[in-house]
Chains A and B, each alone.
Chain A
Amino acid sequence: MASTSHNPAILLRRVLSLRENSPFVLVIDSIGRSGQCALEEVAHEAEGSTTIIYVSFETLQKPRYATHFVDGCKSSSRLLTTIQSFLPSPEQSKLSAGSKYLVVIDSINSISSGSLVQFVTQLASPSVTLLAVFHKDVPEYRSVELENYPSSLYLLKFMASSIMEVRPFTIDSAAEQDLDSGLQKLDIPTGLNDSVYKLVLTNRRKSGRALTYAFKCDAETHSFTPIQNIDSTVDPEDSEAFEGLTTFNLGTSNKQKVAKEQVALPFLEAQTFNTGGAIVYEFEKDDDYDEEDPYEDPF
């Protein structure tokens, strides 16, 4: 696992080929780059034995890679029942541990935000991967009484174990802003939805740690080139960042940086446990520990 976390391209291929343990993969797209490219990449990378159930709210004909094609409907509970009829029961999935199931939803925007959590949690499981596309340019009406309820995008981002955001490949952020202001008025320029696009992958580990990588992708050659993010390479403790902010010296010297790096943080020990959890207790000289008192036992 250590190698995948340091090689973004391998991690992306593992996510696309469903080898990474990721029950819910969310694809976020926009008018600038439709998420169909990500669905086709998953279909291309996934093993031939994978059963793909394609739920269509906007696709007009069955894609070549789909095993079953299901028409989307307004009632999410009816849709859920239809999808589940193609999926194995928990007993069956235990017996056929090797077979993989993939449920593709071409536009999860059509599922109302009220039933979204139930819909996702009932489908995503260790044997079934849910791959759903969310169009971030499709707004949703938020009634006054649900004003403080999280938006669909927020809920989906929270539940997803991997997030792939596809964007048009633009040279700089100024071009991206120009593009966004045009698309806000549905003035669609040429050059969008091209075979070359940018993919930002966020992969959540079991520990909760999220890894984010950007790639330049080519849909024709199925190649993924990691993009070095210049902004993220800036050292947050760079003394230049604090200059002019205050009269105090907030910078750290090289000696201090080395000393800081050598500090072993207490929670690091918890990561050495193979399974389960345990309490790490270190007796200190000021601790008043009475061996005969059962309530004093820290374990």
Chain B
Amino acid sequence: MASVQKQELTLFSDHSVLAESLFEKDVHQIILITHKLGTSPIWLVNALVETLVFGAPLTLNESHSGAVNRARTRTTSQDTNRIRKAVTIASWIHNDEFYHSAFGKLKIDPSNYSINDYLTDFVLKNHGKPASKVLKSIVQELLSAQSQTGLLVLEQPELLMHLLNISSDELHLDFINPLARAVPLLVVVSYTESYDNPGTEAAEQVPRDTVEQIRFHTGCFFKSIAVLGIKPLATGRAKDITGILTICRGGATTSHLPVDVVENEYLFHTQKDTTKLFYR
């Protein structure tokens, strides 16, 4: 694989990872990242965060030290007039230490991001409170975290359905929709290993939890302009390939945007702190 040419990550038709037009006034979008057992999406979240902070995903396809050097040069040469957008991360499966450490390695200045840890003591803090009140307070917390939030990443928000005993529709209407309408770009990271959709016309009786889980993921698809799907190789494990990244259009229209989603399929290989991309 060493001789195979590495590829740049491109999501939009203007050859960008995150097009500038996504951050214009009164424009709100959702991007869905799905991942399965054995493939972590953290490298992709890092790439999106780096794109917003530095203008490009520096650590992709680079050795760690090379990326750090590039980051330093980018930060010092950055146009001071450019409006700096911040990132807010809300995670239900990782604590704040995890992200502070990850972003620290990428040399991202702590003023550029804020981490909301909803893994630690979530149940203890919210036990006995009505679900609608808890959702409202989380929405307020996330929106007040950074006034200049350009990118909000929700890592596995579907767990809220089980933590608060609410339906997928409640989670979408009271949580995902208000957040998506308040920030330019919302990225929902979801774990879809257990997704097995029988469809509406199937006669089989599906348990309520499974139905709500499928409804949530499918609802996110129809709201998203792009879906970044990560899955392991269908043929099993390979020494020099970790998995496949598929970029495809989501259910939401992009007719109001000057750019379109560029569909593509990459192979990726994660080793220590770096991930390399190759065309399939």
Task: Tell me how far the C-beta of B254 lies from the nearest C-beta in chain A, rounded to whole angstroms.
Answer: 10
Residues 56-69 of chain A: 1 if any B CB is under 8 Å from the residue's CB, otherwise 0? 01111101100000
A151, B201: Cα distance in complex, Å: 8
Is there a chain B Cβ closer than 8 Å to A14's Cβ? no
Is there a chain B Cβ closer than 8 Å to A152's Cβ? yes
Residues 196-222 of chain B: 1 if any A CB is under 8 Å from the residue's CB, otherwise 0? 111111100110100110110111011
Task: Tell me how far the C-beta of A226 lies from the nearest C-beta in chain B, rounded to whole angstroms.
Answer: 25
Is the CB–CB distance between B247 and A190 below 8 Å? yes
**What chain B residues lie within 8 Å of A31 (beta carbons)?**
218, 221, 251
Is the CB–CB distance between B197 and A183 below 8 Å? yes
**What chain B residues lie within 8 Å of A109 (beta carbons)?**
215
A293, B90: Cα distance in complex, Å: 86
24 A-B pairs, CB-CB below 8 angstroms? Answer: A31-B251, A34-B222, A34-B250, A34-B252, A36-B253, A60-B223, A61-B26, A61-B181, A61-B256, A74-B173, A110-B169, A136-B199, A136-B200, A138-B219, A141-B211, A144-B205, A185-B195, A185-B196, A186-B217, A187-B231, A188-B248, A191-B263, A193-B250, A193-B251
Residues 96-120 of chain A: 1 if any B CB is under 8 Å from the residue's CB, otherwise 0? 0000000000010110000000000
Is the CB–CB distance between A139 and B253 below 8 Å? no
Most buried by B among A37, A107, A184, A188: A188
Is there a chain A Cβ closer than 8 Å to B255's Cβ? yes
Kindly identify which residue among B192, B197, B248 contacts A137, using a CB–CB cutoff of 8 Å.
B197
Is there a chain A Cβ closer than 8 Å to B227's Cβ? yes
A209, B253: Cα distance in complex, Å: 34
Q: Which of the candidate stretches B28-36, B52-60, B99-107, B113-121 sits at the interface with the other chain?
A: B28-36
Kindly identify which residue among A34, A74, A186, A190 contacts B251, using a CB–CB cutoff of 8 Å.
A34
Closest chain A residue, CB of each to CB of B228: A188
Is the CB–CB distance between A141 and B248 below 8 Å? no
Is the CB–CB distance between A139 and B170 below 8 Å? no
A to B contact number (C-beta, < 8 Å): 131
Is the CB–CB distance between B217 and A190 below 8 Å? no
Is the CB–CB distance between A188 and B195 below 8 Å? no
Is the CB–CB distance between A139 and B173 below 8 Å? no
Is there a chain A Cβ closer than 8 Å to B40's Cβ? no
Closest chain A residue, CB of each to CB of B207: A141
Task: Tell me how far the C-beta of B52 lies from the nearest C-beta in chain A, rounded to whole angstroms.
Answer: 19
Is there a chain B Cβ closer than 8 Å to A83's Cβ? no
Is the CB–CB distance between B229 and A187 below 8 Å? yes
Is the CB–CB distance between A153 and B201 below 8 Å? yes
Question: Could you tell me the dominant secondary structure of chain A's interface residues?
Answer: loop
Given A36-B252, A58-B219, A73-B173, also A188-B200 (CB < 8 A): no
* B residues adjacent to A (C-beta < 8 A): 26-30, 34, 169-170, 172-173, 177, 180-181, 192, 195-202, 205-206, 208, 211-212, 214-215, 217-219, 221-223, 227, 229, 231, 246-253, 255-256, 263-265
A190, B261: Cα distance in complex, Å: 11
Kindly identify which residue among B196, B202, B223, B227 contacts A188, using a CB–CB cutoff of 8 Å.
B227
**CB neighbors of B among A137-171 (8 A):** 137-142, 144, 147, 151-153
Task: Tell me how far the C-beta of A253 lies from the nearest C-beta in chain B, rounded to whole angstroms.
Answer: 41
Question: Could you tell me the dominant secondary structure of chain B's interface residues?
Answer: mixed
Is there a chain B Cβ closer than 8 Å to A179's Cβ? no
**What chain B residues lie within 8 Å of A29 (beta carbons)?**
251
A37, B255: Cα distance in complex, Å: 10
Kindly identify which residue among B172, B211, B253 contacts A57, using a CB–CB cutoff of 8 Å.
B172
A184, B172: Cα distance in complex, Å: 21
Is the CB–CB distance between B229 and A188 below 8 Å? yes
Is the CB–CB distance between A190 and B222 below 8 Å? no
A63, B257: Cα distance in complex, Å: 12
Given A189-B246, A190-B264, A191-B263, also A60-B29 (CB < 8 A): yes
**What chain A residues lie within 8 Å of B208 (beta carbons)?**
141
**What chain B residues lie within 8 Å of A110 (beta carbons)?**
169, 172-173
Is the CB–CB distance between A190 and B215 below 8 Å? no
Is the CB–CB distance between B173 and A57 below 8 Å? yes
Closest chain B residue, CB of each to CB of A139: B211
Given A107-B222, A140-B211, also A60-B30 (CB < 8 A): yes
Kindly identify which residue among A36, A136, A139, A152 contacts B214, using a CB–CB cutoff of 8 Å.
A139
Task: Tell me how far the C-beta of A165 lies from the nearest C-beta in chain B, rounded to whole angstroms.
Answer: 12
Kindly identify which residue among B27, B192, B206, B215 contacts A61, using a CB–CB cutoff of 8 Å.
B27
Is the CB–CB distance between B256 and A36 below 8 Å? no
A105, B70: Cα distance in complex, Å: 48
Is the CB–CB distance between B251 and A36 below 8 Å? yes
